[in-house]
Structure 1
């Protein structure tokens, strides 16, 4: 319809002005040109305050969350809220051991899961969904000596070794770094588990305590007398000279703190 209107106008002007057929054809041709047109596409991101589910420490894909269980078989406590969050940390269970007067080292039970997921190394998990690359630090401290409600287990020492960071395969984000081997000091300060410098550590990351490949199966050492799979990278040293009671379980609290400051600050 548009080309017909232009053509009619051109004929009238051509008759009045004495134009030629060639000028009419030129106007018709310009009306049929295709031309170009540009549009835009975009996306805006905001910090994510939703909790992040625990992931498999050997394949930390947030699209494939897992269901870890505490050593007692119960669901773990939920992680902290985002956008910078501690999503999960394994409990340490050193089992039920016989009293002895010799020095002993006991290993923590490996991380267990619901369903058919096999045990893995113990681990901590952090997610940084702030979107500003400001960096962060995860530390741990032992609040007090193991105690049975009455007496301390004097000289007992918890050690964490072979920390190693793992993240989503193919990520183009600079990974955090692992802390060094540590022995926790009852009542002492934080020791670094995992840290991200400015511009690093965005997304979800885990710090494994050892590796799944190096888990050890202990025969008949579980509470029910069955086999028990342990993580040799998390240990409890108990001196033979310490006074041990069967009255109650010896326990303590470990506090894991995530700071929103870069590791090099």
Structure 2
């Protein structure tokens, strides 16, 4: 009996530790070596998720599918079937259909050099900070095939589909010697230069990108808020059970020498 209680106590402690450490894992790197900006968390705001959904279907769903998501799942962010049909379905799809696109993988590869990825779980694969920084760091590059490049994803094959909202920008770089090896020179990003204005002001554009990223995060796991709530409940239960098991063990063996 004593060994069983000790084992249960140890399992509870280990589970608690793994869970806590798991919640602390975050991504903070990018392919381009650029520090990632922290993405605002707006998962609890239906208004933000609805705006993000609008941006997603208008700008992303033309080339990128989201085949793990059905339109009618948008009810979970406060939309009715009629609102979904009138405002978010731009094709002849039905409310219960998956978010697919007409472009085939073969066509996508021919046009962009690589098949545009499905975005159903992109937020989980890349991380919200990565996406938030990515959408905000496109710049003009006449040497690239599309005329655009990105700080987070150098030599990106995707053009800046949101350029009309953000405007056209140029990236400014400086050549600096490597402090550890003066024979090496590296290009260091020092800022953006606004070439043409967009339809949105910079802060307004950032706010809309935060909404888009929040929607993509929600789409990747629509029940994540409920999962986190249940996770807290489970951790509280495990902590209580650990205390109960320890006290029971102490009481059971108090007269044993």
TM exceeding 0.5: no
| TM-score, reference length from structure 2 | 0.19
Bigger share in strand: 1
Using CA pairs under 8 Å that are at least 6 residues apart, name the structure with larger relative contact order, 1 or 2: 2
Bigger share in helix: 2
